[in-house]
Structure 1
């Protein structure tokens, strides 16, 4: 069978291709094959003009990158049946020539913008709740409110990844509007919640409590109605629907998440980021907010990506400084620039927690470090029971550690 090929009567565009080809990975092709009226397919390209665009399915996010190809691709289309010339009927006409393809690669959802978009809309805390009840008519609150639908159009992530990120960042939905719980305001509420569990629960450890006891206790502190229900759903689960007799609430993850959020609130909400304090003081403050039965759940490692520690080989007590991941730039070049401005020398294990939103796995983070930093191995020796860099005279033993420097150093 012979198919005639025709070239356009006017030259193809010299300013660049008018078409782009997107190569789809196997998992998206499967979604296309499985799509139906009952299971519709959703593919959305997201990003503002200043963003690198991503493609989102209902559950995954894909980075889009342009790949140059050595062989020229020629794009054909059937000749138009409305063409004035019948000679071209049944043939193919050249529409474009391409020297690049767009490829998709699964990436970490870009949800770091959530906190910045919702800034200024946070719950005002226990004191704020009481003041609002007393002065609502005198002090109307005027601020932009966002719904989940609004956020879907602004955040570069799939719908399911966005919902998960809102959960992790303690953003509630009340009457269809999003309400962030800031660390500063959240930790007193969670400390109160633990205290009420210990007081009213008959279990050991006290993880469950009848709502007939818990809700009135929370109400006495200004935590009422839909807000109280939403907070409890965020950090636990009810065993039956609202309004049914004998209803009880059970805390998630045996209290680990609540204890962590209290520590995070003390670290981010209470400490001055420019004024480090002794690590022992921070741990003591955190511990004082946790009932004895939950004390074993206190773990500094649970807060990784939120703080910096001073070297442990100094004669003064080790210091801790708030350094939240959410306050760092969202793009990789600016992120590394900020990290190296903060410290000229990083232990690789200390840097990785501040990259977890840029790469989803260990290998991806290591590739980023290799791209923007220079990794060297250095020996750390122990002097007088403390670790020092470089194996100075008098050192005992020693271990090799991976250290990251800026590439221009």
Structure 2
């Protein structure tokens, strides 16, 4: 004989406590309707704690598709329709006993318990992990670079008011950029951004060059080893040279690595690759150069403690043969879009065909959840290999 649910249960509780082989009477709720503000969300179990404890946010502007962000990941939000009837039943406070004494099997029950359906859901929202959308971050904080003029005009109120019109706080960025907090911080670090007076800024390259050159100059004057720079000494001297204390620290972060604490004093080691890349960019910023000429000037500009190696410039420059001469020109991965489709479009505009050894540094940083580098190549390129021993060549699909 079919069992009946406990008469003490009402509303959604009826369904939650429904036993196998039991039945329940279904009826329309008096507030039944489309209720567009009620949406079903399908979740992976690992995301439940974040949602239940309100550790997620929806991000996006009115003209953008919304994304859901946890502390460390970003998910696209997509509607998935269903052909099944999915009934939404509110909790007991909004449900009523069946007014019809006829149950679903045609038998009379004076106190038949009912579940009142307030909405029939046509589908649910689905979450799919996606890469953070950081191209917008690069675009907006590049609008107003922090320059030496701004540093010198800190007391010029009119200048400061003009310069602050396109500045962004952390809260501004989280409202505008579709990325989790951790991904946003990683993006800011990749752009060498620094927080100045509450606003996230990119320092003008010429100004960074001035600070770096002064640091290297002071290392010679004060007999500092670039492998053991004492933080307090470096910052104090740069500050006395007229650079803001914040930017003195920033210079160490951009071009060095903190290695240890010695008697409660921070010690830094200048990163040879970052310093060498900086001077290579400066030289090639004026246009392409013959390899011999470039290497000669590049080596001359570097500190004595650092040795130049062309391998350091992987992902920063490209070479080409023109007759018997080899020329080199700037082409930095940091200037490329973050989205794969746009990245490959720019790459194939630069070169119609790429050998793997040249292409790999320019796609290594692409991070698309669920897609490996091989999958990205299959999606966006065509691979040709004349012989088994030949290097594969990639062109646009």
User: Are the counterparts in 2 of residues 5 and 93 from structure 1 also a CA contact under 8 Å?
Assistant: yes
* TM-score, length of structure 2 as denominator length: 0.73
Query: Pick from 66, 70, 74: which aligns with 2:86?
Result: 74
Selected match of 2:120 from 90, 96, 108: 96
Following superposition, the deviation at residue 307 of structure 1 comes to: 3.3
Q: 1:282 and 1:121 mapped to 2: Cα distance?
A: 31
Question: What is the CA–CA distance in structure 2 between the aligned matches of 1:261 and 1:374, rounded to whole Å?
Answer: 31
Which of the numbers 379, 402, 405 marks the counterpart of 2:395? 405
Aligned to 1:250: 267
Change beyond 3 A, Cα 1:220–1:280: farther
Structure 1 residues 115-126: aligned runs within 5 Å: 115-125=138-148
Contact 1:255 1:294 in 2 (8 A): no
Structure 1 318/251 Cα, relative in aligned 2: closer, same or farther at 3 Å? farther
**What TM-score does the superposition give when structure 1 sets the normalisation length?**
0.71
* CA deviation string 1:46-85 (max 9, x = no partner): 223444433211122234455566x535232148756798
Whole-Å separation in 2 of the counterparts to 1:29 and 1:58:
13
For 1:197-346, list aligned pairs within 5 A.
197-201=219-223, 203=225, 206-209=227-230, 211-212=232-233, 214-215=234-235, 217-219=237-239, 221-232=241-252, 235-237=256-258, 248-252=265-269, 254-256=270-272, 258-260=274-276, 262-263=278-279, 265-266=281-282, 271-272=285-286, 275-295=287-307, 298-310=308-320, 315-346=323-354
Report if aligned partners of 2:133, 2:339 keep a CA contact under 8 Å in 1: no
Q: How many residues align?
A: 361
- Distance across 2 between alignment mates of 1:292 and 1:90: 85
Superposed displacement of residue 43, structure 1: 0.5
Q: CA deviation at 1:310?
A: 2.0
Hey, what does 1:155 align to over in structure 2?
A: 177
Once residues 28 and 84 of structure 2 are traced to their aligned partners in structure 1, the CA distance between those partners, rounded to angstroms, is: 16
Q: Secondary structure at the residue paired with 2:114?
A: coil
Superposed displacement of residue 402, structure 1 = 2.3
Q: Partner of 1:2 in structure 2?
A: 23
CA distance in 1, matches of 2:95, 2:81: 34
Taking structure 1 as reference, are residues 113 and 299 closer, same or farther at Cα in structure 2, changes over 3 Å only?
farther
How far is the alpha carbon of 1:4 from its aligned partner?
A: 1.7
| 8 Å Cα contact 1:17/1:97 also seen in 2 | no
**What whole-Å deviation, never above 9, does each CA across 1:339-396 have from its counterpart, x for those lacking one?**
32332212244334434554258953332221222222244xxxxxxxxxxxxxxxxx
Match of 2:133 in 1: 110
Partner in structure 2 of residue 347 of structure 1: 355
CA distance in 2 between partners of 1:358 and 1:223 (Å): 36
Query: Where do 1:137-148 residues align within 5 Å?
Result: 142-143=162-163, 144=165, 145-148=167-170
Q: Deviations over 1:154-209 (max 9, x none)?
A: 12222122223222311111221223123343234223323433443555x64223
Q: Conserved in 2, the CA contact under 8 Å of 1:198 and 1:206?
A: no
The alpha carbon displacement at 1:237 in A equals 4.5
* 8 Å Cα contact 2:96-2:114 kept in structure 1: no
Residue in structure 1 matched with residue 196 of structure 2 by the alignment: 174
Displacement of 1:17 after TM fit?
8.1
Rg bigger for which structure?
2
Query: Using a 3 Å threshold, how does the CA distance of structure 1 residues 157 and 299 change in structure 2: closer, same or farther?
Result: farther
Task: Note if contact 2:29-2:116 (Cα within 8 Å) is conserved in structure 1.
Answer: no
Q: Distance in 1 between matches of 2:328 and 2:296?
A: 13
CA distance in 2, matches of 1:328, 1:290: 27
Instruction: Tell me the alpha carbon deviations over residues 102-155 of structure 1, each in whole angstroms, 9 at most, x when there is no partner.
Output: 1322x3322232231022422224xx478648x958966612222122112112
Name the CA distance, whole Å, in 2 between partners of 1:175 and 1:350. 41
Where 1:292 maps in the other structure, the secondary structure is coil
Supply the RMSD in Å over aligned alpha carbons: 4.0
